[in-house]
Structure 1
Amino acid sequence: MSIFVRFFAAVGLLLAISCWSSKLMAADWPHRTVRLIAPVPAGSGSDFSARLFAERLSEQWGQPVVVENRPGADGVIGVSAFLNTEDDHTLLYAISAVFTLLPITHEKLPYDPVRDLVPICPTSDVVLAIAVTGKRSIRSLDDLVQTARAEPGKLNWSSSPGLPPFVVGGFLKNAKLELAFVPYRDLAPALQDLGEGRIDVFVHALSVTMPQVQSGRARLLAVASDARAPLVPDVPTVAEAGFPDLRMDGVVGLFGKRGIPHTLRDQIASAVSAVANDPAIRQRLAHVGQAAHPGTAAEFAALLDERRRSLADLAKAMNFKPTQ
């Protein structure tokens, strides 16, 4: 046998062993607690779906599935914590912005999302809403813009991390509107300040804002999705309100680390899709202004690529300067 024949035979054997090992790992996974790192505060929109999916996946896998919140720095803290773990039973449960937007808004990240994160599958769509404190008489987006023009520098706003600061911030800049941004690490004080009028405008998941709306302490102006939310059918979309540039998606999904076996990735995606297609899960998500979003790894990756290109084009049009 020539040296070339022996070489290629050895390569073939190694490939076969690698393929067999990946399938064996997938068949044996999970064999202990699965941890989902969520780079958002407890109680936020994607945190709700994370806990809902964790509950059902735990039943399906026969192993505990726990959610660990690691908020801060627009999601960078949570993503970094995920990438720094050596545990193959830890996954990242995050909004798409950590993959599509952070490379645009931050000049230097401690990681490369495209290189280091592997999209596994989408889970749900969080409906983002624009609300105003009940202390103000503002009743539409047009009212808000007119008030901001009449009272420059008098209004302020806050939001969830990710898309809202980028999209809304860009809109305000282009429209030459002066609204001070007030950052919050936790939701509770932000919601309290919205209800008491210390925050004028709040852009966050619909599910997060609804308690203040239902109590009359806040008012919804629009939802940022393509279609009206079944939970609040009388509230217009931003496009219907005349401000299509404020459209924002809230796609949430699971990510693995570079090197995750394809078989394991597909196995997890299949399990998640089964949960997302469950009518009871769909109903629970709809009740808080979310929608189930089953899909494959390939579909999720394609969606993220399209969103990343779209946001890059928007940043270029805005002449956006990333954070140093």
Structure 2
Amino acid sequence: MNHPTRRLLLAGAASALAPALPTWAQTPATAYPSRVVSIVVPFGGGNAYDLMVRYLADRLKEATGQPFIVEAKQGALGGVAASYVARAAPDGHTILFGANSTHAANIHLFKKLPYDPVADFAPVTTLATIPQVLVVAPSLGVNTLQELITLARSQPGKFNYGSSSATGRVASESFRQMAGIEAVHVPYKTSAQAITDLIGGQLHFLITDAGLGIAQAQGGKLKALGITSPRRVPSAPDLPTLAEAGLPGFEFTAWLALFVPAKTPQPVVQRLSDLVNVVVRSPGMLEYLAKIHALPFPGDPESLRRLAERDTERWGKMIKAAGIEPE
């Protein structure tokens, strides 16, 4: 066979294979991501979660050359964002920035969820753990946890507290019960809205993420009375745990994680998990997490699956013990 004829045959064979290449190319992890990736966040802007996901998005863009954009979809304690991602194409280009609220607590807080935390998602990896902090407005005139409890007990039913997440709601209700005080719950879409009302005197106390609450306290707008983690955080060593401050055994810590729609190809899930964990373990992320009083929590799809399963049972018990009825 002469060389020109052979070249024509090879060109024809390549042309015949061309239609199959796009399908093949979308399967290997090396082809991911192939376009803009949306990270859907259930929480409002300005808090530690929002700032963290934007830092993560910037690093993933640097690593892959593809844009990672952040979309905020608040409401229903993360349910709006979770249901949106559950219906997205299962190709790894729509990611849920989820938490213990979306994948462990909400199933016990709502009579009917618009998504299935297990069947509708493929777990990717854990990211970090973030303790909560109990804060009050300086105008309330209390300086310690015990002073808050004493004041609230002296005015039964007249105190209000807010929450914008399952962690904040359950932690606050558990605190109320353990402290033996009566208080009315006020729901919020975002932590920033609750902080504003707390400063303005519409709320009397709030349990929110440590990154936001401690920053407001350090700025003089709020007073931090205790942190919900089992140990003090190195970034705020003078702030006692609530257990130390007078509620032995009190402990609540939120975790953050990534999920993609069910049926996303396993190589894509693993590729995303590997990319994210490089960022989570990087010196820059470790430094950033310390600033928001959080701890790195790297993982993988299987460890996140086990965590969500275990915490679904654990949060169910806590919610029942707190006396919270599904809405």
| One-letter identity of the residue aligned with 1:36 | I
Q: What is the aligned length? A: 304
User: 2:108 corresponds to which residue?
Assistant: 104
User: Structure 1 residues 187, 171: closer, same or farther in 2, change over 3 A?
Assistant: closer
Deviation of the 1:163 alpha carbon: 1.4
Is 1:219 aligned to residue 213 of structure 2? no
| One-letter identity of the residue aligned with 1:302 | R
**Secondary structure of the residue that 1:51 maps to in structure 2?**
helix
User: 1:308 corresponds to which residue?
Assistant: 312
User: 1:64 corresponds to which residue?
Assistant: 67
- Deviation track 1:208-266 (CA, whole Å, cap 9, x = no partner) reads 12342123221111111122112211111122223245421111010011112222211
- Counterpart pick for 1:159 among 151, 157, 163: 163
TM-score by length of 1: 0.87
On the 8 A contact 1:121/1:253 being kept in 2, the answer is yes
Is 1:53 aligned to residue 56 of structure 2? yes
User: 1:15 corresponds to which residue?
Assistant: none
> What is the rounded CA distance, in whole Å, between the counterparts of 2:145 and 2:25 in structure 1?
52
User: 1:17 corresponds to which residue?
Assistant: none
User: Structure 1 residues 121, 299: closer, same or farther in 2, change over 3 A?
Assistant: same
| One-letter identity of the residue aligned with 1:221 | L
On the 8 A contact 1:94/1:253 being kept in 2, the answer is yes
> What is the rounded CA distance, in whole Å, between the counterparts of 1:223 and 1:276 in structure 2?
23
- Counterpart pick for 1:271 among 268, 271, 275: 275
> What is the rounded CA distance, in whole Å, between the counterparts of 1:239 and 1:214 in structure 2?
22
User: 2:297 corresponds to which residue?
Assistant: 293
> What is the rounded CA distance, in whole Å, between the counterparts of 1:186 and 1:33 in structure 2?
26
User: Structure 1 residues 208, 75: closer, same or farther in 2, change over 3 A?
Assistant: same
> What is the rounded CA distance, in whole Å, between the counterparts of 2:24 and 2:246 in structure 1?
55
User: 2:3 corresponds to which residue?
Assistant: none
- Counterpart pick for 1:128 among 114, 129, 132: 132
On the 8 A contact 2:137/2:205 being kept in 1, the answer is yes
Where do 1:241-280 residues align within 5 Å? 241-244=245-248, 246-280=250-284
> What is the rounded CA distance, in whole Å, between the counterparts of 1:218 and 1:316 in structure 2?
31
Deviation of the 1:319 alpha carbon: 5.2
Is 1:82 aligned to residue 72 of structure 2? no
**Secondary structure of the residue that 1:182 maps to in structure 2?**
strand
User: Structure 1 residues 217, 316: closer, same or farther in 2, change over 3 A?
Assistant: closer
User: 1:193 corresponds to which residue?
Assistant: 197
User: 2:236 corresponds to which residue?
Assistant: 232
- Deviation track 1:125-157 (CA, whole Å, cap 9, x = no partner) reads 222111111112222222222211111122211
On the 8 A contact 2:127/2:296 being kept in 1, the answer is yes
> What is the rounded CA distance, in whole Å, between the counterparts of 2:323 and 2:172 in structure 1?
15
> What is the rounded CA distance, in whole Å, between the counterparts of 2:222 and 2:159 in structure 1?
15
| One-letter identity of the residue aligned with 1:167 | A
Please, which runs of 5 or more residues in structure 2 have no aligned partner? Answer: 1-22
User: 1:172 corresponds to which residue?
Assistant: 176
Moved more, 227-236 or 158-167: 158-167
| One-letter identity of the residue aligned with 1:162 | A
Q: What CA RMSD, in Å, does the superposition of the two structures yield over aligned residues?
A: 2.1
TM-score by length of 2: 0.86
**Secondary structure of the residue that 2:212 maps to in structure 1?**
helix
